[in-house]
Structure 1
Amino acid sequence: MYTVLVIDDSPSMRRIIKDMINSIDEFEVIADAYDAYDAREKIKEYEPDLVTIDINMPKMNGVTFLRNLMRLHPMPAVVISGESVRGNDIFDDGAVGFIPKPDSGESMAAFAKRIKESLLNLTFLLKRYTLKKPTPKKKVISKKHMDVERKIHPDEVIRSTPARSSFGAKKLIAIGSSTGGVESLLKVFKSLTNNLPPILITQHIPYGFSKSFADRLNDNSCLTVHEATDGMILEEGHAYLSPGNMHLTIEKVGSVYKTKLLDTVKVSHHRPSVDVMFRSINNVVGGGSTMAIMMTGMGDDGSIAMKELYDNGAYTIAQNEESCVVFGMPAKAIQKGAVKDIVHLNEIAQYIIDFSSGKKR
């Protein structure tokens, strides 16, 4: 059961949303709040798994509250608002979902259906990011769990069969990120030049938002950024973002490298998974021509395969604790001895440029 805090200044809308959410088997509204300050106290008291936020609220608007929430107490947040034009903006501010309030022509039954579909699509994220326990138990990967992962077909690159670097003079850059990654990646991409090796990105992101995020990166960067589709040739000056419901891997076809999307089981509790992407690169390209970057995020996805890349000669960096929204994934990679340099967010773009020109290795 996932607990929800509903935030809306309208008593009638709070009641409607509460009733709709409570009708979903896996969700329960444990409290509601009438403005941002009331919500702040309710979050401290109830520690919900998810909050819903209205944009038009007194004292502090929902966008400002969302930004503060992601900075001070990052957690899954869905905006339910009549301002549909703000959909992409609030995602960039850290929301994991956006549900427009019904217009005059929509029935309450249709609105309830949209809420149900949206929340059920987030259950995979909630399983991973629940904040009910302030100090999560250390994840233990059992032998049984590892065996299950290794039974997947080798073409799905879950097994580790490192290749020697076969890119020759060419290079490849891979970035993994999660909670806080949207804003952080935007900051990095704004400072990149357009003469870089291909960049692959796995960002934990709900299905339906990856295309708009890729477009946002493209609009704010000198690089050409794509939401990856199957069979795209990796080109210099281009970046490829994993879709929100597929693993992003690569394969060699003749003399070129192409994207290969996998609609398979979750790995490290995620699809897309950073571990899958990193391991694919290690298997197909090898470490000698690869730069792997671990950015802000909760959990440990990517740390195992990053260590394999590091051991195979890749240049690896992790975002430092000071500049992370959540110092989870970088911390796990550092603990495993998978990281050569620990870098502030403001410096990551320059490290990428330096690696591309041969100054970092």
Structure 2
Amino acid sequence: MKKHTVIVVDDQRSVRSMIKRWIESDPNWEVIGEAANPYEARDLIIEKLPEVMTLDVHMPGMDGIVFLKKLLPQYPMPVIMFSSSTTEGANITLEALEAGAFDYVTKPIGTPESLVEAKEDLLSKLYESLNYNLAKLSFPSKSEALSPKKTNAKTTFKRKFILIGSSTGGTTALRMLLNDVDETFPPILIAQHMPENFTTLFAQRLNSDLKIHVKEAKDKEILQSGHVYIAPGNYHLGIQKIGSEYYTQILQTDKKNGHRPSVDVLFESAIEQDIGGSSIGIILTGMGSDGASGLLKLKNQGCLTIGQDKETSVVYGMPKVAHELGAVTYQVPLNGMVDKIKEIASL
């Protein structure tokens, strides 16, 4: 059986050896080359044509982001970044995702548990990368995505909440979707699979670029129109009612579907508050099934539900499972999602 091929790019030999051992512990994968810098990596890619590349975010000689921007248009492939969980590492990783990286793995901190977790995360994302829709995607650049657009008459929303779940590819998808959102939209709550530090910086970057207020959610914040609340890494986000008002709820209960934050936890909190009938539920690109069962429960409570279509999903996993469950009312491309939200807003 032919093995899937990877090249490993990291300036430390010991790290390259560790990553190679992790990858080749799975008999379906083979490391066909190692590189200490982007220049060696470029030559290896031309010679070996690997299916996937792992790349350290801190590389000598050439900035990793510049490398990605030069590489991917010529040799499109899934690139899995290795990132530290520091603020600097998170920032660079978010830039890499905007530059076209497929996903990232957080570097282990040295404990046996963190080593096992990083290895399992890498192997999982290697398999995810085989479903990467790179050839069909053509996202605009950040400057194009954020360029001013003609605005139509303001939408009148009867739906009081918008709930969104996303995973692999979600950072780009959310940026594109939220770019077309204005202050007339009801509160938007998002569960994006992402660790601590990353969600804080992701929210800050969106807030500085977009015309609406985006923030990492804190507990017991009153939900306001024109505001976006992103679940903090390693915590679940939900909705709670205090008196006559609705607020955020931040929880650190067990992981669900292997995730914290979990999309299902967000969706199910709306069900518990009996607000499915006054909500719009959306499931975006991502691997796995998180959010699918919760979206079906929302739909059964009267929620209007939207799933991203296969053609524009980086990984058509979460939306596919939701669609197959019958949880999706409308399946639409990413660039048509805000128009669909506006179309159904008064239903």
| TM-score category of the 2 structures, normalised to the smaller one | 0.7 to 0.9
List aligned pairs for 1:127-138, cutoff 5 A: 128-131=124-127
The answer to whether the 8 Å contact 2:219/2:250 transfers is: yes
Paired with 1:219 and 1:56, the residues of 2 have a C-alpha distance of: 30
The CA deviation string for residues 232-257 of structure 1, in whole angstroms up to 9 with x for no partner, is 11111111001111111111110111
Give the SS at the match of 1:182. Answer: helix
The CA deviation string for residues 136-170 of structure 1, in whole angstroms up to 9 with x for no partner, is xxxxxxxxxxxxxxxxxxxxxxxxxxxxxxxx956
Give the SS at the match of 2:287. Answer: coil
The CA deviation string for residues 321-354 of structure 1, in whole angstroms up to 9 with x for no partner, is 1111111111111000011111111111222333
Q: 1:66 to 1:246 in 2, by over 3 A?
A: farther
Count how many residue pairs are aligned between Structure 1 and Structure 2.
302
Residue of 1, 5, 8 corresponding to 1:6: 8
Paired with 2:210 and 2:185, the residues of 1 have a C-alpha distance of: 12
Q: Tell me if 1:332 matches 2:321.
A: yes
Gaps of 5+ in 1: 100-111, 136-167
Give the SS at the match of 1:275. Answer: helix
Residue of 96, 109, 117 corresponding to 2:104: 96
Question: Which letter does structure 1 place at the counterpart of 2:44?
Answer: D
Q: 1:345 to 1:193 in 2, by over 3 A?
A: same
Question: Which letter does structure 1 place at the counterpart of 2:314?
Answer: V
Give the SS at the match of 2:276. Answer: coil
The answer to whether the 8 Å contact 1:4/1:51 transfers is: no
Paired with 1:87 and 1:134, the residues of 2 have a C-alpha distance of: 21
The answer to whether the 8 Å contact 2:159/2:280 transfers is: no
List aligned pairs for 1:1-361, cutoff 5 A: 5-8=7-10, 13-18=11-16, 30=31, 31-33=33-35, 34-36=40-42, 38-39=44-45, 44=50, 51-52=55-56, 54=59, 56-57=61-62, 61-64=66-69, 73-74=77-78, 76-78=80-82, 86=92, 88-93=94-99, 94=101, 95-96=103-104, 122=118, 125-126=121-122, 128-131=124-127, 171-356=160-345, 358=346, 361=347
Give the root-mean-square deviation of aligned CA atoms: 3.9
Using structure 2 for the length normalisation, give the TM-score. Answer: 0.73
The CA deviation string for residues 17-65 of structure 1, in whole angstroms up to 9 with x for no partner, is 33676899x99995513213524776847x68x543537459x943326
Q: 1:275 to 1:113 in 2, by over 3 A?
A: closer
The CA deviation string for residues 159-215 of structure 1, in whole angstroms up to 9 with x for no partner, is xxxxxxxxx956100111111110111111111111110000011112220011011
Give the SS at the match of 2:207. Answer: helix
